[in-house]
Structure 1
Amino acid sequence: MIFDQPIKKWFVDEEGKDTNVKSVLKSVSWRVVGTIDTMVISYLITGQIKTALSIGSIEVVSKMVLYYFHERAWARVSDNK
Structure 2
Amino acid sequence: METRRRSIVKAVIWNIIGLICMSVVGYIGTGSLSVGGVMAVVNAALGLTMYFIYERIWSGIQWGRAPAFADGGAHV
Question: So what's the TM-score if we normalise by structure 1?
Answer: 0.72
Q: Structure 1: give runs of 5+ residues left out of the alignment.
A: 1-16
RMSD of aligned Cα (Å): 1.6
Which structure's residues are more often helix, by fraction?
1
User: Are 1:45 and 2:24 counterparts?
Assistant: no
User: Counterpart of 1:26?
Assistant: 10
Distance (Å, rounded) in 1 between the aligned partners of 2:32 and 2:64: 47
User: Counterpart of 1:7?
Assistant: none
User: Counterpart of 2:43?
Assistant: 59
Distance (Å, rounded) in 1 between the aligned partners of 2:57 and 2:63: 10
Q: Taking every aligned residue pair, what percent have the same amino acid on both sides?
A: 23
Q: Which stretches of structure 1, 4 residues or longer, exceed 2 Å deviation after superposition?
A: 78-81
User: Are 1:36 and 2:20 counterparts?
Assistant: yes
Please identify the structure whose Cα radius of gyration is greater. 2
Question: So what's the TM-score if we normalise by structure 2?
Answer: 0.76
Q: Structure 2: give runs of 5+ residues left out of the alignment.
A: 66-76
Q: Relative contact order: is structure 1 or structure 2 higher (C-alpha 8 Å, sep ≥ 6)?
A: 2
